[in-house]
Copies of this chain bind each other. A is one copy, B any other.
Amino acid sequence: MVRQRLGEFEFIARLLRPLASGLPGAEQLGDDTAHLAPPAGHEIVVTTDALVCGVHFLAHHPPDLIARKALRVNVSDLAAAGCRPWTYQLALALSDDIDDAWLASFCDGLAFDQREYGIDLSGGDTVSTPGALTISVTALGLVPAGHSLHRAGAKVGDAVFVTGTIGDGALGLKASKGELEGVGGEDVAALAARYLLPQPRAVLGPRLRGIASACMDVSDGMVGDLGHICSRSTARAVIDVERVPLSEPARRAIERDASLLETAITGGDDYELLFTAPATQRDAIAELAKDSGVPITEIGRIEAGEGVTVLRDGKPLKLERTSYRHR
C-alpha cells in the first residue's frame, strides 16, 4: 500500500488551519507566532503536557482519541487552576508510519474537543522524528486576576474532596494491556475507555473558585498527588481508603484482586479534581455536585504535619509506591 503523505505546508493549510479559524490572533497559522490579547483583569494560566507513543498511548489507538486525550490532559490542568480554556499550541513530532488518514482523524479529534471545551489552536510546530510519535500541547487558560486555584493553600482542619471516581485510569491501562484476569468484558471495556479518553472537570473547576483552598488534578496517582498539595501547603493529609469513590467496574476488579486497590489509589490518569476546603463549605460543595451532576466525595482531612496517611479500618496502610514516575 502506498501511503498518502501530505507535505508539511499542505498539512498545516488543509487540516490545522481550520482548527485556528475561531481565534483572530492565530493569524490563520500564517505567521510563526500567535498574537493574543487577554481580556482586561485576567491572568493567563499556562500548562504543558507531552504524550509519547508507547508510553502514554499505543500505536493502534484511534488517532482521534489520542488527539482528544492530548487536549484533555491539559484542559484538566486548567480546570484544576479554576480557569477556563482559551487556546493551545501543538508540537507534533511525526514518525514515518503516520499517513494522511491518521492525521485527518487526529485533527477531527482536536476539532471535536475544541468545540467541547471552547479552546482554539493558535499555532505550533510540525517536525519529523526517527523515533516515537510525540505530541506536546501547551494550553493557555483565563481566570480573573488573583482568583486562580493552587496546590498551596490547604489549611489544618480542611476536608479533602475528590470528584468522580478514582482508579479507573490505572485499571483501564491494565485492562487495555489484557492484565485484568477474570474481569468481565464490559468492565474491561469501561475501564479501558476511561484510560483512553479522560473526562476533565472543565465546568466544575472554575466553580471551585472561592470554595476550594487548594486544588489539583489527579494525573500521576491520587496519593502522590495529594502529597504535592501537602508539601506545597506545609500540612499533612489523612484519608480513609474506604471513602475513596470507586466505579462499579473498579470495585468488582478490586473484589477479585485486592492488590488492585493500591493500583487504584496510586495509579495515574484519573483526571479527577482533588481539592481541600474548609468544613464550612460542605453545603456549598454538595450543592455544586448536585448542580453539576459530578459526584464529589469527602475522603479525609488536613492535619498538622507532613505527608499523606492512608487509613484502612483506622490503621495506616503501607503502600509500595505513591504515584507513577517517568524516570
Q: Is the CB of A35 within 8 A of B43?
A: yes
Q: Does A316 contact B (CB under 8 A)?
A: no
Which A residues have a C-beta under 8 Å from some C-beta of B?
A: 5-9, 11, 25, 27, 30-38, 40, 43-56, 77-78, 80-81, 87, 89-95, 122-132, 134, 136, 138, 140-141, 143, 145, 148, 150-152, 216-217, 219, 228, 231-232, 325-327
Q: Roughly how many angstroms separate A8 CA and B268 CA in the complex, as a whole number?
A: 15
A131 touches B128 (CB 8 A): no
Nearest CB in chain B to that of A77: its residue: B32
B81 touches A48 (CB 8 A): no
A235 to chain B, nearest CB (A): 14
**Given A35-B43, A35-B81, A91-B91: A48 and B128 interface contact (C-beta under 8 Å):** no
Contact yes or no, A8 B326, CB < 8 A: yes
User: A130 CB to closest chain B CB, in angstroms?
Assistant: 5
B-side contacts of A94, CB under 8 Å: 326-327
Q: Using known A-B contacts A46-B123, A52-B129, determine if residue A327 contacts B11 with beta carbons closer than 8 Å.
A: yes
Of the A-B pairs whose beta carbons lie under 8 Å apart in the complex, a sample of 10, sorted by A's number, is: A31-B216, A32-B81, A33-B148, A35-B148, A36-B45, A50-B91, A56-B127, A95-B131, A131-B131, A131-B132
**Contacts A31-B232, A33-B78, A80-B32; A48 near B90 (Cβ below 8 A):** yes
A214–chain B nearest beta-carbon distance, Å: 10
For the A-B complex with A30-B231, A31-B151, A38-B44 known, give 16 more contacts whose Cβ atoms are closer than 8 Å: A8-B326, A33-B141, A33-B148, A36-B45, A36-B46, A44-B44, A46-B89, A48-B138, A50-B93, A51-B127, A91-B91, A93-B132, A94-B326, A126-B326, A128-B326, A134-B136
A32: which B residues are within 8 A, CB to CB? 47, 77, 80-81, 151, 216-217, 219
Return the chain B residue nearest A132 by Cβ: B131
Instruction: State in angstroms the CA–CA spacing of A243 and B185 once bound together.
Output: 71
Q: Is the CB of B327 within 8 A of A128?
A: yes
Q: With a CB–CB cut-off of 8 A, which chain B residues contact A140?
A: 46
